[in-house]
Amino acid sequence: MTQTTLERVLDGEHIDVRRRRGWQIAVGILVAVLVGARLFGEPAAWETWLTLFVSVLLQSLPFLVLGVVVSGVIAGFVTPSLIQRFTPSSETGSVAAATCAGVLLPGCECGSVPISDRLMQGGVAPAAALSFMLAAPALNPVVIVSTAVAFPGQPEMVAARFCASFVVALGIGLLWTRRNRTAAIDRAQQSVDPHSSRTETLVGTIVHDFLHAGGFLVVGAAAAAAIQAFLPQQILESIGSVPVLAVLTMAFLAIVLSICSEADAFFAASFSQVSPTAQLAFMVTGPVVDLKLVSMQAGVFGARFASRFAPATVAAAIGASVLMGWIWL
Amino acid sequence: MSTIAGALLTIMVGLAAIMSTWTGTYANYVKVGLRWPLVIASLVLIAAGLASLAYAIRGRANVHSHGAQGVGALLLVFVVALVLAPPPLGAAAAADRTPNRAASAEAFAAVTTTAPPVAAEAEPPVEPSEPGNPTPATATEEPSVGAQSTSEQSVPSTAVQEGVLEGNARAISMYEFVGYALFAPELVVGQPFELVGFAAEEPDIGNSFRLTRYLMGCCAADAFPLQVTLVDPTFMPALDQWVVVQATFHGELTDIDEWGEGVPVLEVHEMAPIDPPAEPYES
């Protein structure tokens, strides 16, 4: 018992003060916006915010739990030597393998962040783990089917989405192999007691990763709900219908609306007045970068990492959409 | 955050979520298909939280972290919000959103080709009725599919209280009705249909309100309002009051946008107030 208390004290002292202050400022701004909206805005808009906030989180919860359970299994039962045996020795090869693994696993963006973090701690090359994180939500079977349903009779849209998202996941992974890899990633380090049993590690990892990723998900969901509730929806919709630069504005909409990757195809299809390439940009950008994802990535990998990763991902998503739109649509 | 506090918080999130599936309030926020995934996820959280608590009490806090795990305390906001149980999206949010945008011609065609409401009368139309319709092909294909799949297919009913109204109008979902009214009006004009929704404001026409229901993909954050305007109702319901109504569309639209789509205007025959349905959203 005394050891645990000591550890708790140490915990408090080891927290990266700089990173924590950044988060306190972000949360402070958000709270100020919400209190302001409560005091001066319409009560109805506040109620809408609360409904949307709960909706985004409740919708994410099963996927986040699936993610942290997989994360716990990796921490407790998959040893680094096992991971090394199944990953290609070259970093480029493992990026390609990780992208393909992301296609097969029905993940969600909220769940793939903690899994990716855990894979890195298990010895997977960071670039490969990042490719997995980008590929899993954008390329899984559920998303492909829902895209086909939302765009009936347009298999070229499904093909274009698949190709563009694949290119983004692969491209960002390859880009990160060329950069100074681990330097930019500033994770909350976790030490697992080597004497603890596998079940204890599993349980500890599930709880830890749930609280960690879930806390940042709350911040992201609050921000996404605030944009929908307090900005007139018709302004957002008219942003999406500007014909010039429609690709850029649709990508911007995808980032601020933070719609889950299973539903975003229906949302994109409803923008029937913009070009197919702009609809594609919405579907390719949303699963790899949006408010709740940036919030989680900044929390799990550090704000410095997120400030480089998010712009790179947005650029890759827009570039891949334009390219694949030109080829397919 | 201490291990014990973290474990308790994890249990609380699990309890709040499983309570919402028990009481049914979860359907105010997410699609009903998510019920069992939510139950399983909640049970996992409760079990993991209890196990972690047991380890901590025995003094074996095995995993200890350096970092911003304190951010997990924000999950308390989620627990409180979920227990407060805000209402589903209603008239106020609908006033802020473009109506019927979810009824895109392509998506509508995919959903409804198997369930035409009036297959017996499905004569091939001579030409699409709306010049502004971006995909007139949809409207012309619709009836031929209907004719092939013969008459006895039932339209999914969304009426929550059977037999409230006496007339024998066919019950139809708002999504299907709005889709037919906008993209294949010849199939629904002149016939009474029974619709369920809540009342929202009609800004342009006097003595009327907009019958509204949201269409949801995954959760309320991606929901769109579906609306029809009911003129000269038998009574004027309060905003957000749910009603069942039997009404007829004569081809008139209001609030028409630059693509020729808008809100269908219906003549009311009968209507009655009802309790909010267990599933407030169509999906």
pLDDT tens for A250-269 read 899 899 888 878 778 877 88
Distance CA B23, CA B3 (A): 30
Mean pLDDT of chain B: 79
Judge: A196–B219 Cβ closer than 8 Å, yes or no: no
Mean pLDDT of chain A: 80
- Residue of higher predicted confidence among A114 and A9: A114
Contact residues on chain B for A214, CB-CB shorter than 8 A: 13, 72, 75, 78
- Whether A329 and chain B come into contact, CB under 8 Å, resolves to no
Name the residue facing B96 among A20, A212, A232 (closest C-beta): A232
Interface test with chain A among B10, B63, B89, by most A beta carbons within 10 Å: B63
- Residue of higher predicted confidence among B127 and B48: B48
Name the residue facing B1 among A50, A153, A211 (closest C-beta): A211
Judge: B63–A14 Cβ closer than 8 Å, yes or no: no
Judge: B68–A218 Cβ closer than 8 Å, yes or no: no
Give residue A7's pLDDT: 39
Give residue B95's pLDDT: 85
Judge: A152–B70 Cβ closer than 8 Å, yes or no: no
Task: Give B234 to chain A, closest Cα distance, Å.
Answer: 28
Distance CA B150, CA B184 (A): 18
Contact residues on chain B for A273, CB-CB shorter than 8 A: 259
Residue A275 confidence (pLDDT) above 90:
no
CA distances from A207 to A54, A258, A270, B69, B82 (A): 21, 25, 39, 11, 20
The question of ipTM being above 0.85 is answered as: no
Evaluate whether B150 touches B204 at the Cβ level (below 8 Å).
no
Contact residues on chain A for B6, CB-CB shorter than 8 A: 207-208, 211
Q: Could you tell me which chain B residue has the CA closest to the CA of A15? A: B67
Q: 3-class DSSP state for residue B228?
A: strand
Q: Give percent of chain A with pLDDT exceeding 90.
A: 23
Q: What is the mean pLDDT of residues B134-140?
A: 38
Judge: A55–B72 Cβ closer than 8 Å, yes or no: no
- Whether A66 and chain B come into contact, CB under 8 Å, resolves to yes
Judge: B68–A203 Cβ closer than 8 Å, yes or no: no
Size of interface A-B (CB pairs under 8 A): 253
Contact residues on chain B for A216, CB-CB shorter than 8 A: 71
Instruction: Give CA angle at B270 (B264, B272), nearest 5°.
Output: 100
Asked which of A16-20, A260-264, B68-72, B139-143 is least confident by mean pLDDT, the reply is B139-143
- Residue of higher predicted confidence among A168 and B164: A168
- Whether A47 and chain B come into contact, CB under 8 Å, resolves to yes
Asked which of A321-325, B27-31, B54-58, B107-111 is least confident by mean pLDDT, the reply is B107-111
Give residue B122's pLDDT: 38
Helix axes A276-285, A155-178, angle to 10 degrees: 50
Structure tokens at A227: 């944009």
Interface of A with B in 177-196 (CB under 8 A): 187-193, 196
Judge: A218–B78 Cβ closer than 8 Å, yes or no: yes
Task: Give B64 to chain A, closest Cα distance, Å.
Answer: 6
Q: Could you tell me which chain A residue has the CA closest to the CA of B260? A: A273
Residue B62 confidence (pLDDT) above 70:
no
DSSP B198: E
Q: What is the mean pLDDT of residues A226-237?
A: 77
- Whether A238 and chain B come into contact, CB under 8 Å, resolves to no
Beta-bridge partners for B219? B30
Name B36's Cβ contacts closer than 8 Å, sequence gap at least 6.
none
Q: What is the mean pLDDT of residues A130-134?
A: 92
Judge: B17–A61 Cβ closer than 8 Å, yes or no: yes
Residue A300 confidence (pLDDT) above 60:
yes
Give residue A165's pLDDT: 95
- Whether A218 and chain B come into contact, CB under 8 Å, resolves to yes
- Whether A150 and chain B come into contact, CB under 8 Å, resolves to yes
Contact residues on chain A for B34, CB-CB shorter than 8 A: 58-59, 62
Residue B150 confidence (pLDDT) above 90:
no
Judge: B28–A207 Cβ closer than 8 Å, yes or no: no
Contact residues on chain A for B7, CB-CB shorter than 8 A: 207
Name the residue facing B75 among A54, A218, A272 (closest C-beta): A218
Interface test with chain A among B15, B83, B219, B240, by most A beta carbons within 10 Å: B219
Residue A243 confidence (pLDDT) above 70:
no
Name A106's Cβ contacts closer than 8 Å, sequence gap at least 6.
A140, A141, A142
Contact residues on chain B for A187, CB-CB shorter than 8 A: 67
Q: Give percent of chain A with pLDDT exceeding 70.
A: 82
Interface test with chain A among B3, B22, B78, B257, by most A beta carbons within 10 Å: B78
Judge: A215–B71 Cβ closer than 8 Å, yes or no: yes
- Residue of higher predicted confidence among B56 and B67: B56
Contact residues on chain A for B134, CB-CB shorter than 8 A: 272
Q: Give percent of chain B with pLDDT exceeding 70.
A: 74
Task: Give A92 to chain B, closest Cα distance, Å.
Answer: 31
Which H or E run contains B44?
helix B35-57
Q: What is the mean pLDDT of residues A284-290?
A: 92
